[in-house]
Amino acid sequence: MTDIATDRWPGVVRTPRTPFKARVAAAILRPAANRAPVHMTFPDREPWGAGGPDAPEMKIVRPKAFFARLGADTKVGFGEAYMAGDWTTGADTDLADLLTPFAERITQLVPQSLQKVRVLVDKRLPHHTRNSVSGSKKNIEAHYDLSNDMFEAFLDPSMSYSAAWFTSADETLEHAQMRKIDGILDAAHVTEGTRVLEIGSGWGALAVRAAQRGAKVTTITISTEQAVLARERFAAAGPEVENLIDLQMVDYREATGEYDAIVSVEMIEAVGEEYWPTYFAKIDELLAPGGSVAIQAITMEHHRYLTTRNSYGWIQKYIFPGGLIPSLEAIDQNLAAHTSGLKVTQKHSLGQDYARTLRAWRDNFTANWDGVRGHGFDETFRRMWEFYLAYCEAGFKTGYIDVYQLQMQREA
C-alpha cells in the first residue's frame, strides 16, 4: 500500500492558503465554542469554551492550519484538520466525548443569518460518486474492499458491520449482533423453507443465521473482498448451511427471482437518493405475494435530510463515497410512489445501541492498531478512522442520527 497521506489524500498534507476565510472561521467558531461545555486550548492564546479545566479538551496544535482548513471548507476541514494533526484531544479526553457537545449543538454552531447563505459554500455531490451500476461498485470498493484483515481487527467474531442490539450492560458485542440479526429475520418471518433474498451480503453472518433456520438464502454483493471471506465462512459453517446459501456477485438492480422474505442491513445508505425509487421498486418486484421485507436503515430527521441531501461532507469524501442517509419520511414516500402497496408496518430504534457498538469498535481498533498498521495503513488512516467512529458515536448518542429496523409488508 502506498503512503496514504500523500497519495490518497493530498488535501490533508497541503494546508489551504485562505487567510480571510480562516479569520471568518475563527470568528464563527469562537462564540459557538464559548456556548459549549468544552475546553479549547491553544499554544498562542487564551482558552475558549464554556467548560472548565475538567471539561473535554480540544487541543489546537496548529491554529493557523486549523482555521485555514475550516475556512476553506467547513464541512470537510474539521475532520481533515484532525487527520492532519492540527488538533487533537487533551490527555484525559475521549474523542467522542469531546465531539458530543458539538453534535448536540450542531444546528446552532453557525449563526442563523449565515445559514441562509450555506448554499453558496456547500459543495455539491461529485458526479463521479453517483450510484449507477458501475459507480456503486467503485464506491463500495473504496470502503468495503480496504482489507478484510483490517475489519477483522475491530469487528466481533460474526464480522457484523452494523448496529448491534443490546439488552444488558454486560452483554458481549457478538451476542448483541446475533440479536440484531435475529430481529431482522424475525421481522421478515424467516423460518424453515423460506426463500430469502439478502441485499448486501456483508461477511455472511446473516446468511448463515438464516440458513441455520432452514431457509434457502440468496445473498448478493458487489464487494469482491467481502464475497471471498463470506464464502469461506459459509464453508466453515458446514455443508448443511453452505448448501442452503447462494452468493451472487450482482448489483441489486440485476437481481432476479421471487422471494418470501427480502432483508437488507444498512445498505440503503449506499443506494443514493437518485436510485431509491429503483431500489424499492426492485424489492417490490422480487417479493412474493404475502411476503415480508425487513431492512435496517440509518436515518435522520426529515428537515435535516432535506438540508443536507445535496451537499458533500467529510464522511462522503473519506469514508462512504456516494453515501446518503434517508429520513423515515423519505422511505415512506418512496414506498408509496414506487411499490404496489408496500408500507412500514413495524419499526424499532437502535440509535443508542449504535453509539455503544461504535465505542466498542473504536476500542478494538485502537487496541489492535499495531496489527492494522502491519497491513500498510499509516497514522493518517488511523486518525481518519478514529474520527469517523467517534464522530458517528456522537451523532447517535445525541440523536442527531438514528437507526431503525423496519418491517415492510403490502397493504391487504
**Tens place of pLDDT per residue across the chain (412 aa):** 333 444 566 568 778 888 899 999 999 999 988 989 999 999 999 999 999 888 999 999 999 999 999 999 888 999 999 999 999 999 999 999 999 998 876 544 454 444 444 444 456 677 788 999 999 999 999 899 999 999 999 999 999 999 999 999 999 999 999 999 999 999 999 999 999 999 999 999 999 999 999 999 999 999 999 999 999 999 999 999 999 999 999 999 999 999 999 999 999 999 999 999 999 999 999 999 999 999 999 999 999 999 889 888 999 999 999 999 999 999 999 999 999 999 999 999 999 999 999 999 999 999 999 999 998 899 999 999 999 999 999 999 999 999 999 999 998 7
What per-residue confidence (pLDDT) applies to 123? Answer: 60
What per-residue confidence (pLDDT) applies to 120? Answer: 44
What per-residue confidence (pLDDT) applies to 7? Answer: 52
Place of cell 475550516: 70
Cα 235 from Cα 229, distance rounded (Å): 10
Neighbours of 140 (CB within 10 A): 24
What per-residue confidence (pLDDT) applies to 74? Answer: 84
What per-residue confidence (pLDDT) applies to 237? Answer: 98
**Are 325 and 316 within 8 A, CB to CB?**
no
Neighbours of 252 (CB within 10 A): 24
What's this model's pTM, rounded to 2 decimal places? 0.93
Of 271, 267, 321, nearest in space to 293 by CA: 267
What per-residue confidence (pLDDT) applies to 400? Answer: 94
Report CA-CA distances (Å) from 380 to 94, 150, 369, 386: 18, 15, 12, 10
For 280-346, the DSSP string reads HHHHHHHEEEEEEEEEEEEEE-HHHHHHHTTB--HHHHHT-TT-----HHHHHHHHHHHSSSEEEEE
Instruction: Name the class of domain 129-410.
Output: alpha beta
Using alpha carbons only, give the angle 36, 102, 42 rounded to the nearest 5 degrees. 65
Cα 55 from Cα 51, distance rounded (Å): 5
Pair type for strands 195-199 and 216-220: parallel
What per-residue confidence (pLDDT) applies to 106? Answer: 55
What per-residue confidence (pLDDT) applies to 311? Answer: 84
Using alpha carbons only, give the angle 12, 13, 14 rounded to the nearest 5 degrees. 95
What per-residue confidence (pLDDT) applies to 310? Answer: 86
What per-residue confidence (pLDDT) applies to 5? Answer: 41
What per-residue confidence (pLDDT) applies to 127? Answer: 73
Domain ranges of the chain: 4-120, 129-410
Angle between helices 379-398 and 95-104 (to 10 degrees): 50
What per-residue confidence (pLDDT) applies to 60? Answer: 97
What per-residue confidence (pLDDT) applies to 52? Answer: 86
